[in-house]
Amino acid sequence: MKKLFCIALLCLSLSSAKAQKPIVVIQTDFGLKDGAVPAMKGVAAGVSADLRIYDLTHEIPAYNVWEASYRLYQTIEYWPKGTVFVSVVDPGVGTARKSVVLQTKTGHFIVTPDNGTLTLVADAFGIAALREIDEAVNRRLGSGSSYTFHGRDVYAYTAARLASGLISFTEVGARLPDTVVRLPYQKAELENGMLYGSIPILDIQYGNVWTNIDAELLKQAGIRYGDHIKVRILSKGKTVYRGMVPFVETFGAAREGAPLAYLNSLMQLAFALNRGSFADSFHIKSGQDWQVIIEKERK
């Protein structure tokens, strides 16, 4: 009886796994004002009606490859293994930049131009393999004369074929060396009691400033909740903000309108004004040109 019960559970598990529909997640800088995104979704749905198609975001600022890189990094680990992401922020569309599919060491796939979009994904999740899309076979039928909408004609089409199992990863195209075009940025590090990092992104809705300095580095620097930290924010080497802020668990630990430091949802150091915009108040932006230097207050 016990053996039959175990077999039934195994069959149920296998049936559930088989029922799991393939997933495609799309990110662009197109916005939703016109038909570009629905066209991509239509191409994907036309490949396989079994696909589940989701949006990551379509509000990447125009041509902002760095932010595209960050939003992938922010999101990928929360999706099931095998999910295929399409990222189209492609100011060089139609030029010699490569169209690729990267398989991460976590088992996710990203279909994108190799223009820096894969910078943070490669650093955070590793490259299991990289292949160049063979457009001779992985391109929407009849689209060969179109040079400016690879998101629809190449990337959405290839992603849908890969996710649905119509092609294997090896059938995407030729294997490339496991290196991608990388955008430069200040990686988080601790040196002589000072923490150095970058401001990769803003929490746009609230004006919070996110860094890439994680909780483990803060711990190594001896910074704990309740401490005050010296903060210096620079743009292209020029100091934009300098201040002393408390490191607290919640926004409510500071009075309304006061600055604070906290751990964001990625367990990385961030700065905020309680019920205000830190970024707007101190004219702070994000990207490769923005750095932060942190030091614990010495008593």
pLDDT of amino acid 14: 45
pLDDT of amino acid 17: 45
Quote the CATH superfamily of domain 189-296.
Answer: Bacterial fluorinating enzyme like (2.40.30.90)
Q: Would you say 147 and 153 are in contact if contact means Cβ atoms under 8 Å apart?
A: no
Fold classification of 18-176 is Rossmann fold (3.40.50)
pLDDT of amino acid 188: 97
Rounded (5°) CA angle 26-205-213: 85
Q: Where in the chain is the domain with CATH 3.40.50.10790?
A: 18-176
**R_g of the chain computed on alpha carbons:** 22
Smallest CA-to-CA distance from 171 within 142, 129, 206 is with 129
Q: What tokens appear for 258 in the block? A: 């006061």
Q: What is the DSSP annotation of 137-204?
A: TSS-TT-TT--S-HIIIIIIHHHHHHHHTSS-GGGG--EE-S----------EEETTEEEEEE-EEET
Q: Would you say 160 and 112 are in contact if contact means Cβ atoms under 8 Å apart?
A: no
pLDDT of amino acid 147: 77
Q: Where in the chain is the domain with CATH 2.40.30.90?
A: 189-296
Task: Please list the pLDDT of the chain residue by residue as tens digits (299 residues).
Answer: 555 544 545 554 444 445 578 999 999 999 999 999 999 999 999 999 999 999 999 999 999 999 999 999 999 999 999 999 999 999 988 888 999 999 999 999 999 999 999 999 999 999 999 999 999 999 998 877 887 799 999 999 999 999 999 999 999 999 999 999 999 999 999 999 999 999 999 999 999 999 999 999 999 999 999 999 999 999 999 999 999 999 999 999 999 999 999 999 999 999 999 999 999 999 999 999 999 999 998 86
Q: Would you say 117 and 56 are in contact if contact means Cβ atoms under 8 Å apart?
A: no
pLDDT of amino acid 1: 53
Q: Which one-letter amino acid corresponds to residue 297?
A: E
**36 three-class SS:** helix
Q: Would you say 183 and 288 are in contact if contact means Cβ atoms under 8 Å apart?
A: yes
pLDDT of amino acid 16: 45
